[in-house]
Amino acid sequence: DAKTTQPNSMESNEEEPVHLPCNHSTISGTDYIHWYRQLPSQGPEYVIHGLTSNVNNRMASLAIAEDRKSSTLILHRATLRDAAVYYCILKTSASKLTFGTGTRLQVTL
């Protein structure tokens, strides 16, 4: 699977929007962009995924660059419960996820 690059950590104030970036310059045409997050002491949790178009769901929005070499996960109003490690993953086949080290998001009052 192609590699992704994310900042190690980010901070946000509660109730403010958070933009989590991900670079994937070697993405192929068939790679889906998936985001998962992992809260402390829990298994990873699916957040959102997309292929070419921007996507919205109840948890977040995914903005995909026109050339698909980068994407941004947007949490519209961060809460303390959003403090987690966020993983950006490229997925070609219906098999394994290849996790990096992700971005640790801290949310403060």
Interface with another protein (CB under 8 A): 30, 32, 34, 42-46, 49, 51, 85, 87, 91-102
Give dist(CA 58, CA 55) in Å, integer.
10
- Measured between its terminal Cα atoms, the distance across the chain in Å is 38
Burial class (CB in 10 A: 0-12, 13-18, 19+), 28: exposed
Minimum CB separation from another protein for residue 32, in Å?
5
Q: How far is the CB of 109 from another protein (least distance, A)?
A: 26
d(C-alpha 74, C-alpha 104), whole Å: 14
Smaller CB distance to another protein: residue 39 or 77?
39
- In the complex with another protein, the residue whose CB is nearer, 51 or 80, is 51
User: Which of 13, 56 has the CB closer to another protein?
Assistant: 56
